[in-house]
Structures are given as C-alpha cells and as structure tokens.
Amino acid sequence: MPNEWPTFPEGRRVIVGVTGGIASYKTAALVSRLAQAGVEVTVAMTPGATRFITPLTFQALSGRPVYTSPWEHIESHDPQHVSLASRADAAVIAPCTMDALARLATGRTDDVVTLITSAIDRARTPVLLAPSMNAAMWAQPATQRNLAQLADDGFTIIPPEEGWQACRTTGAGRMAEPETIATHIATALHSA
C-alpha cells in the first residue's frame, strides 16, 4: 500500500459512485482527500449506499451536490447522467459490490451510479472499480466471470485486499484502502 497521497493534475473532475457496502466508510475518506487535493468530486449513490452512509456526509466532504436518484435534476434540466459523464475526467465505483459488478457486466442501469457509468465513453474516460465483498462472494464463479467481462469491456479493476471483513472472517475481497484507490485514480488521470 502506498504511504503517501498521490498528486493529481489540476482542474480534474472525478465521479465517485458508492454502492451498498460497509466499505463505504472508506469512500468518505477518499472523497475528502480528493477534494483536499483540488479534485472536483461528484458523488452518486445507490439506494443501498444511503443505508450505510448519508448523502449529507459526501456533500459536506465534496462541497458538491450528491446524486441519489436518476430522476433528480440538481444542476440543470439536461439528462444529468449524460452531462455528468461527458464532463468527467475519470470515475470510480468504491465500494463496488458483487451486485454492482453483475449489473455493470450485464448492462443494467437501474440506479444513478450504473446509469452515469453507462454514459461514460471508456475510450476517453477511465472508469475504475474497487470491488468489496466477503471472501465467499469474491470466490464465486459468477463474480470472477463478471470481473473478466468488465475488464474486457474496458473497466480498470482495483484488486481487493485480504484482511478482516465485517462478516467476522478474514480473506480476500476487502476493498482497497483509500490511498491505493487514489493512486489508481491519479495514474489514470495522468495517463489520460
């Protein structure tokens, strides 16, 4: 794990998608540090994510509105998902649950996170996924198939770590630490 926080190119816009996993508490630290580094962070949350951490937390940390529904039009009357996707320099979904991986792999867009992600041109804008789930879910053949499909589709997978999990077990599937995710984002932004 990197010891230092990476540097980011100036004036970059990053979308942070948050899905319904306990690791969303780590995403709060990621959003805070990205904002402190001068990145314009826009957070989108699934309904499940709002059960773990509030949109108000991310609004306070990012200094920007938080998207929780595809039906909200916070900043304009345009289709928000298209507008947000076209302005982004990078996007990350952290945590990216087993369910979110499956929805992305099959092209389902039934929440604001997958809807925005589906509108991003991955040939121009990197989209990173930070999986988070328990070891049994991580080892499922369906999860591994979905990861392979997403990699083929142009997503960047940030490998999870091994360690203590909320289900009181130890194993692979624990979401990467905020510093590791930030390093992947910085690398993607510097390469784009």
Active site residues: 167
Closest by Cα among 56, 122, 60, 52 to 94:
52
- At residue 4's C-alpha, the angle toward residues 10 and 65, to 5°, is 45
Q: Are the C-beta atoms of 96 and 129 separated by less than 8 Å?
A: yes
Structure tokens at 181: 């995710």
CB burial string 111-136: b at 16+ within 10 A, e below: bbbbbbbbbbeeeebbbbbbbbbbbe
Report which residue type is found at 101. L
Closest by Cα among 189, 192, 191 to 37:
189
